Chain A
Amino acid sequence: MNYLFNTWPWYISGPLIGLTVSLLLIGGGKMFGISSSLRHFCAMALPNTRIEFLRYNWKAEIWNIMFVLGIVIGSFLASAFLSSSAPSLLPPHYHSVSGAIKLLLGGFLVGFGARYAGGCTSGHAIMGLSDLQPSSLVAVICFFLGGFLMLGIFQIAGVAL
């Protein structure tokens, strides 16, 4: 039983994550992707906006919001019932004002970048690469380049994340 409560090894968890692609395609006729939900939330919150990109029928994409709701429930279940101790997901020093600022700014880059790139790690790295999409390969390479670039900037500036 310990196996269940520890971190699942990559050769179990990785392939199971990959199965989400066919689960959504065959089970729901939907392409895997999560960052679109952020757009739907914005559209939902601003029903009378003049911003063209947020004027669409988000209700037709409600499945995406349901999927995200499921992620929240599933991760709660996993941490409450499938973990020997509460999983540590963010470092203790992020539980501070400076941590909140880092998360806000970093989150901004994630949200802005994902929409500009047309997808995130799920839509491009998993779904797009699974479908051998060249634009997804470019995006994924840039995801990693961006991370390494940021790492370099922090190291040159002598700042620890």
Chain B
Amino acid sequence: MTRRYFLPADTTAGALGADALAEQLQGALHEGETVVRNGSRGAFWLEPLLEVEEGGERIAFGPLDGRQLGELLATDYTQWREHESCLGSVAQLPWFKAQTRLTFKRAGIDDPLCLDGYLAQQGFEGLEHALHLAPEDIVEEVLRSGLRGRGGAAFPAGIKWRTVAEASAEQKYIVCNADEGDSGTFADRLLMEADPYQLIEGMAIAGLAVGATRGYIYLRSEYPRTWEVLHRAIGKAEAAGYLGDNIGNSNRAFHLELRIGAGAYICGEETAMLESLEGKRGMVRAKPPLPALEGLFGQPTVVNNVLTLAAVSTVLADGAEAYAALGMERSKGTLCLQLAGNIKRGGLLEVPFGMSVREVVEQLGGGTRSGRPIKAIQAGGPLGAYLPESAWDTPLDYEAFAGIGGMLGHGGLVVFDDTADMAAQARFAMAFCAEESCGKCTPCRVGSTRGVEVIDKIIAREDPAANMTLLEDLCDTMEHASLCAMGGLTPHPVRSAMTYFPEDFCKDVGEV
């Protein structure tokens, strides 16, 4: 009898006790049974999620603790389905049925480092296809797919690639921005831990498209497990000839290096990240010149987010039309949403663009974990707006979000219940900017510090009306005069908190 147990080795699964369960399980194996440490499927509310495969069927149990695993191991397998933690087949859960998985189609299925498993699931088909195309045809394919950058700015990937492809230089670079610092986002981490070869493949395709022979992944230091997985995946891809001097026996080279950041939020901004890769302080550069023309070490550089580069593998494997057929308007393909904060069912959802925030948070997310009413949803990371209930019917689409003064960003949705104090959240936004500002421009560096002071005065009811006006003015200055998005977008959470939740700022001052 062969039976395989799957227990994720993912960061969040580990943070919920999966490693201890794996050890417990390992000690109780019978002959013919093996434990696979897979990636997570991203249903983090079910982690640790044990799946048992026997006779082609895969049954899930979760969220599982040591006592429950002990109970299962003490009973005959035929009785397991009766156990309180049994979920049946995960594919049949409403959470997964509502999704359209492209980028995350392999996440959680197998050991992320198993190259044969990757190849068996369409792995490296995109690269094989790209190796038979002229570079301009690869760029054309990405353009036609309508793929836009998944890092937040949503710039069309193909246009960026074309600029780099058309630039002439001795050396060009592909840089993957894996500095996922936004609270409420973990899609990059999940992808890198659950399906690292997909990112490697996407970067190699990008190298072929623009003529770059070197690539860097800039990974944040807060993700030690991710580093481990990527480090090993790069080594295995090199050994198998998917990276190196002769990728896929094509006589074309692509070398990939993993670099680790040092705990600076601003290094998620592309030019600050390039400075950091060059071994300097992560100071933002003025644009132009664009990194596409003068990027890393002054050379033409493609800078894309993890999910953007990963999606390229799918685009090249399935064709641009298949990708562009999903989505709405100018938001093509799928959107990777991350449900976080005070939410009952938190995790990653890959859905076509166009569902509403309310549908996602209430129906799929199940509302708050505390059981209290939702007060606000912060979309798009720490620099995104706090959305009140009147905005929850907005479809998840870049333009629709911009239309309500919000930002879809990287697709993070952080839920707050009615106990949240929005003045405290606004103050935090300014304090975070003050802490993490690179310091190069005055509006961001000084404006954020003054912002904290003004909000403190408002909360202390010190001339609140005049200070609210002053805060508005300060937000204007930061928005219009900052060098990059850090100072330019910090007014988003602050203003939305002031506009939609004024009662939290001046609890007894009615007219403000």
Q: Do A and B bind each other?
A: no
Question: Which A residues are within 8 Å of any B CB, using their own CB?
Answer: none
